[in-house]
């Protein structure tokens, strides 16, 4: 039996040198090797109460898969992971474990928690290296349509396929993956990893149809001629803006557009047919993971980059690891700062960002202290490009073309905890319901909806 590892520190993740990686799009985190993975797994106490599992939105059997890693049984570890997630290599890379499963880890009370996410990535990558085949489940004769191939849709499709359903996924873009391919940069989530996970779903029998826009190529109502239930995982791809003067100037981008040009259309590559503005000084407005992604992409394109965030560093919503990587790569930060105007020249090109300093006042409805402008503190930040990364909303097209589908005042599809919408047989989950959130929360919604769809179809049989 392997001895317990009492080291209070998590095994470090090897990464590319900042000076090297800030000039390319290679994956920054290099992953554990076998020796490091086993050593980290030995830090796990194997708690009977399993508090880490309660922090996982998809209910991964964490102590069980880690016990397999301890024993060097990596194939069994992958099988355990697969009981709960269809995208382990993705989750291991982009899931905010530090706020979820690792936040509940008992080892974290007197040191670092167990590196659960890093172990998940190791197991998934090891599975791929071994070229282990995915089994195709026996069909049950029922058909389900999934609209949207992002984390919610893929998770729902994967779970339904495991139950024997014939699933067709409809994707509006020319490549499957949703935000995993258009939103998250190559240096954080290589697209080959996403394709690998999606190919695994195809092996299970999931059909994926691209260039199929819900509300244009087909309607939800039309799907019921071929399918018994529909899951809407259409995401939240409509960017938000601040509605400040100069926001329609040349050189102002939503983070969605900027990242899509680079991640999906490969605008950073010399032979790309899709251009991207190569600015000298970029201001990124926002403090979430999307803001970090945009800032780090702009840095890789040679720009001097500053992140402008209206709250303090302690309240930065981005993963600490991503913010640290951004700093290491030369990205600057202006905290307690809020834009009030985008300055332009006579030809309407961006020349700067007029900002005001902020202070934190009383707590708002979210529990965070509200930022308040400091009178007379205006200053100008030099910039020839401004990227808005202040959140997104669901695209209203599906709701507009689906009679009886109820949405709230922000365009989010109304659905209960199991994903049931106002229409019988129509379920929804992920960012289309919650607004922009994390990959793992969207996956959890897809899993819950898959169970609800199964119950719905069985009840009608």
Q: What percent of the chain has pLDDT over 70?
A: 99
**What one-character-per-residue DSSP string does 317-352 give?**
-S-HHHHHHHHHTT-EEE-SEEEEEEEE-TT-BEEE
CA 166 to chain centroid: 26
Q: What is the pLDDT of residue 1?
A: 45
Q: What is the pLDDT of residue 268?
A: 86
Please tell me the number of Cα atoms within 13 Å of 321 on its side-chain side. 16
Contact 36, 11 (CB under 8 A): yes
Residues 6+ apart with CB under 8 A from 208: 149, 168, 169, 171, 176, 198, 201, 202
Residues of the chain falling short of pLDDT 70: 1-2, 132-133
Pairing, β 166-170 against β 207-209: parallel
Mark residue 330 as left, alpha or beta (left: phi above 0; alpha: psi -120 to 50; beta: remaining).
left
For residue 215, give the nearest of 205, 194, 230, 202 by alpha carbon. 230
Pairing, β 426-428 against β 238-239: unpaired
Q: What CA–CA distance (Å, rounded) separates 300 from 63?
A: 39
Q: What is the pLDDT of residue 48?
A: 92
Structural tokens at position 274? 């899709």
Domains within the chain, CATH numbers bracketed: 18-129 (1.10.1060.10), 143-237+393-460 (3.50.50.60), 241-390 (3.50.50.60)
Model pLDDT for residues 123-180, shown as the tens digit of each residue: 999 999 887 667 788 999 999 999 999 999 999 999 999 999 999 999 999 999 999 9
Note the pTM of the prediction, 2 decimals. 0.94
């Amino acid at each position: 039996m392997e001895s317990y590892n009492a080291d209070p520190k998590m095994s470090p993740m090897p990464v590319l040198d900042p000076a090297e990686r800030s000039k390319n799009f290679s994956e920054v985190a290099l992953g554990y090797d076998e020796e490091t993975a086993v050593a980290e797994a030995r830090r796990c106490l194997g708690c009977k109460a399993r508090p880490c599992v309660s922090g996982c939105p998809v209910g991964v059997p964490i102590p069980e898969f880690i016990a397999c890693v301890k024993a060097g049984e990596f194939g069994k570890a992958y099988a355990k992971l697969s009981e709960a997630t269809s995208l382990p290599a993705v989750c291991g890379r982009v899931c905010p474990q530090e706020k979820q499963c690792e936040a509940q880890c008992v080892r974290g009370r007197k040191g670092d928690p167990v590196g659960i996410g890093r172990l998940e990535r190791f197991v998934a990558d090891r599975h791929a290296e071994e070229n282990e085949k995915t089994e195709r489940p026996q069909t049950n004769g029922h058909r389900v349509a999934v609209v949207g191939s992002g984390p919610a849709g893929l998770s729902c499709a994967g779970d339904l396929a495991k139950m024997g359903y014939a699933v067709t996924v409809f994707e509006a873009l020319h490549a499957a993956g949703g935000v995993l391919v258009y939103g998250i940069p190559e240096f954080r989530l290589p697209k080959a990893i996403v394709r690998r996970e999606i190919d695994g779903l195809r092996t299970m029998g999931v059909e994926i149809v691209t260039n199929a826009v819900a509300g244009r190529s087909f309607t939800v109502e039309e799907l019921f001629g071929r399918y018994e239930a529909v899951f809407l995982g259409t995401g939240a791809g409509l960017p938000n803006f601040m509605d400040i003067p100069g926001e329609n100037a040349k050189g102002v981008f939503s983070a969605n557009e900027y990242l899509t040009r680079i991640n999906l259309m490969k605008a950073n590559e010399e032979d790309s047919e899709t251009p991207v503005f190569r600015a000298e000084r970029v201001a990124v407005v926002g403090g979430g993971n999307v803001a970090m992604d945009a800032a780090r992409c702009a840095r890789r394109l040679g720009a001097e980059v500053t992140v402008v965030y209206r709250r303090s560093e302690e309240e930065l919503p981005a993963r600490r690891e991503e913010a640290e990587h951004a700093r290491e790569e030369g990205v600057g930060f202006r905290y307690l700062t809020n834009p009030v105007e985008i300055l332009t020249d006579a030809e309407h090109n961006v020349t700067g960002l007029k900002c005001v300093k902020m202070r934190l006042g009383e707590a708002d409805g979210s529990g965070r202290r509200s930022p308040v402008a400091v009178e007379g503190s205006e200053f100008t930040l030099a910039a020839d490009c401004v990227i808005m990364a202040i959140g997104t909303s669901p695209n209203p097209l599906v709701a507009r073309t689906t009679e009886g589908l109820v949405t709230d005042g922000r365009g989010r599809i109304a659905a209960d905890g199991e994903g049931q919408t106002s229409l019988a047989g129509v379920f929804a989950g992920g960012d289309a319901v919650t607004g922009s959130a994390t990959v793992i929360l969207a996956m959890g919604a897809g899993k819950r909806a898959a169970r609800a769809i199964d119950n719905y179809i069985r009840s009608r049989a």
